[in-house]
């Protein structure tokens, strides 16, 4: 008979016997390498990260929205790529200043690495560092 994880074993009168401790150890080893800094923000140690602390960060969707709203306010409503006004928040996407294709860490969502840009401008820019020139 297989005992549940929180069920007491009638033979040993313990909860970590009869193979259940091995199951718990397997669960712990399969956890993600990402550590949670605070809800919505996770980080991982990265030897290629350009920041002195040696971590790269990943933001949840809601945290990224908070950062984008702050960036729009800091940029006074201007697109970081084409330098025109941002008209609709539905069209605003995060623009990574140090993109992965140019040697940046894979998806480093630090607020200082993100700018607010039009979706079309960001897709045209791709993995380059061209700022202020939409046609290049």
State whether 120 and 64 are in the same domain. Answer: yes
Residue 53 lies in a domain: no
pLDDT at residue number 116: 93
Residue 52 lies in a domain: no
State whether 9 and 66 are in the same domain. Answer: no
State whether 18 and 75 are in the same domain. Answer: no
pLDDT at residue number 75: 93
Would you state the structure tokens that stand for residue 14, as one six-digit string?
């313990």
pLDDT at residue number 134: 45
Residue 130 lies in a domain: no
Residue 116 sits in a domain whose CATH number is: 3.40.1800
State whether 70 and 27 are in the same domain. Answer: no
Kindly state the DSSP code that residue 133 receives in the 8-state scheme.
-
Q: Which residue has the tokens 């040696």?
A: 54
| Residue 19, domain extent | 1-31
H-assigned helices in the chain: 20-29, 61-74, 119-125
pLDDT at residue number 52: 81
pLDDT by residue for the chain (136 residues), tens digit each?
Answer: 577 777 787 777 777 777 666 655 555 555 678 888 888 898 888 877 777 888 888 898 899 999 999 999 999 999 999 999 998 888 999 988 877 666 555 678 888 889 999 999 988 887 776 655 444 4
Angle 37-41-44 from CA coordinates, rounded to 5°? 70
pLDDT at residue number 135: 47
- Which residues make Cβ contacts (< 8 Å) with residue 130, sequence separation at least 6? 81, 136
State whether 14 and 70 are in the same domain. Answer: no
State whether 64 and 115 are in the same domain. Answer: yes
pLDDT at residue number 129: 65
State whether 67 and 118 are in the same domain. Answer: yes
Residue 36 lies in a domain: no
State whether 64 and 18 are in the same domain. Answer: no
The domain tally of the chain equals 2
User: Which residues are bridge partners to 6 per DSSP?
Assistant: none
Residue 111 lies in a domain: yes
Residue 39 lies in a domain: no
């Amino acid at each position: 008979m297989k005992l549940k994880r929180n069920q007491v074993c009638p033979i040993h009168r313990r909860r970590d016997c009869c193979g259940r401790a091995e199951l718990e150890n397997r669960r712990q080893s399969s956890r993600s390498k990402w550590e949670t800094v605070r809800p919505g923000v996770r980080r991982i140690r990265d030897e290629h990260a350009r920041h002195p602390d040696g971590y790269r960060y990943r933001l949840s969707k809601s945290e990224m929205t908070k950062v984008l709203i702050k960036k729009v306010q800091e940029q006074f409503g201007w697109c970081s790529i084409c330098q025109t006004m941002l008209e609709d928040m539905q069209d605003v996407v995060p623009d990574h200043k140090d993109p992965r294709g140019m040697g940046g860490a894979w998806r480093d969502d630090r607020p200082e690495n993100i700018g607010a840009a039009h979706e079309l401008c960001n897709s045209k820019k791709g993995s380059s560092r061209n700022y202020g020139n939409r046609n290049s």
